[in-house]
Structure 1
Amino acid sequence: MLPSLFINHGSPMMIKQQSDYTHFLKDIGKRFTPKAIVIFSAHWEEKVTTVSFADGPLETIYDFYGFPDDLYEIAYPAPGSPQVAEKLEKLFQTHGIPSQRDNKRGLDHGAWVFLRHMYPEADIPVVTVSVNPFLSAAEQYKIGEAFRTLGEENILVIGSGTTVHNFNYIKFGQQHPEPWAVEFDDWLIEKIQAKDLQSLVNYEQLAPYASRAVPRAEHFVPLFLAMGSSSGEQTPSVLYRGYEFGTFSNTCFEF
């Protein structure tokens, strides 16, 4: 039985970095050996939940600008899996969740950057699923619930995003985190470990500094999608906690 995970995908610069966080990602990759990986990526937004049916090797999407030229030469040619994608489509149908197909979509940097550290051989099939940041947190959780049985089939579900993500408060070169970012994550961790879903889905009203930590929800909703995908049999845990640039949170969870 595999859990579901919430992983911070990091900056594109993480592709080449060797850090405490990238070492953590490598260790996680050694811990889990799934037959396939399903990723809700913060960097793929659609109004209707969309599943990638691309076969592979999947295209590496460079959805970032202004970075060193050699980053655009690095590829992650993982295989896709139309078979797993069809399974996801049927699960959505069973749960009454509208979905659609994308037959060409490859891997954006919300998927392949961290996967390159976890599974550098790029030999595990990957299927990505879009997010809609305009749905409520409760609706996100329900979408995730459609995938609750995937862990039993050795399919790893990952929500790829960030708990604190606000470019207006970035502090380049700052090594220590801003207190407000820590306070937001503290609240989040407490509610997640207590399985206090009622408070979590109302985080906008209840969490300290919520509007500052989550000015737009695209990086935050993968947390609810991953949480909903969990079997719920174990107590959620913090896999990693750290901060970059004063405010960007690398906090990761296992559900």
Structure 2
Amino acid sequence: MLSPVFLAHGSPFTIFEQSEFTQFLRHFGQQHRPKAIVIFSAHFENEITTIAPTDGVHEMVYDYYGFPDSFYQVQYPARGSMIVASIIEERLKKHRIPVQTHYRGLDHGVFPIMMHAYPEADIPIVPVSVNPFLSARQQIAIGEALQGLEQEGILVIGSGFISHNFNEFDRNKDAPPREWAIEFRDWIREKALARDIEALSQYATLAPHAMRAVPRAEHFVPLLIAMGSGDPNGNPRILFDTIEHGSGTTFSIQF
């Protein structure tokens, strides 16, 4: 089933990591074999929704700092798809969503998870930007413009974290989950499973500890886009869900 998904993208360490999370990603890739992937990465920001078109092999965007040299030598030679990029552009324009095209390669919201899910790099990938300053309802509307793409064999992925606050991360990956992070995660989980768009559109004021969990929305809005792109009558299901480093969630869900 190619229904849209929100995936936690992990840290750059995910590239070389062997863990329960990377095992989940491998299993996900084995179960889902789309003709192409459209991915909204938290690390690709633009004021106007921007599609990165190419038919060539994607460039690598090493948008992280202070890692060993091996992290800057990683290659993931997936190609893009001009045809799929055109489909996305046409859909967004039809729904009167401002859109532009400008090439950008694969950042660490994309290639670390794709390397585990699709190690052969044989599925075309079309990156699309996010704008964290749009309202939650506008984020959902972007997703709604893409409803039904699974019928054409295209998988929509939102890549981010529902809780992303570096000031709250514990260096110890196995640190006990903090109570506020659990309460926030549980609220998001409940509303996402119920496809409660009204509540999630107001998560910043309704969800417990929202400002602590989401001090800046770029990692959260891919969830809203993925949810909007799913079947309104579908049954969301949790794919993976743990809390690491005290407050960082791997919450991943299919719509």
**Separation of aligned partners in 2, 1:126 and 1:25:** 16
- CA 1:174/1:87 → structure 2, altered by over 3 Å: closer, same or farther? closer
Report the identity percentage.
51
Contact 2:162 2:213 in 1 (8 A): yes
The match for 2:129 is 130
Unaligned runs of 5+ in 1: none
After superposition, the C-alpha distances for 1:145-171 in whole angstroms (9 at most, x for unaligned) are: 111020111100000000110001111
**Separation of aligned partners in 1, 2:189 and 2:70:** 37
Say which SS state the counterpart of residue 109 (structure 2) adopts.
helix
Query: Which amino acid is the alignment partner of residue 97 of structure 1?
Result: I
**Separation of aligned partners in 1, 2:193 and 2:64:** 34
How far has the Cα of 1:174 moved from its partner? Answer: 4.9
Say which SS state the counterpart of residue 78 (structure 2) adopts.
coil
Say which SS state the counterpart of residue 67 (structure 1) adopts.
coil
Q: How many residues align?
A: 254
Equivalence map 1:135-154=2 (5 Å):
135-154=134-153
Contact 2:195 2:227 in 1 (8 A): no
Equivalence map 1:1-255=2 (5 Å):
2-102=2-102, 104-175=103-174, 176-255=176-255
**Separation of aligned partners in 1, 2:76 and 2:233:** 33
- CA 1:37/1:174 → structure 2, altered by over 3 Å: closer, same or farther? closer
**Separation of aligned partners in 1, 2:244 and 2:54:** 34
Q: Quick check: 231-240 or 25-34, which moved more? A: 231-240
Query: Which amino acid is the alignment partner of residue 138 of structure 1?
Result: R
How far has the Cα of 1:105 moved from its partner? Answer: 1.2
TM-score, normalising length: structure 2: 0.98
Unaligned runs of 5+ in 2: none
**Separation of aligned partners in 1, 2:28 and 2:243:** 19
How far has the Cα of 1:233 moved from its partner? Answer: 3.1
**Separation of aligned partners in 2, 1:191 and 1:247:** 19
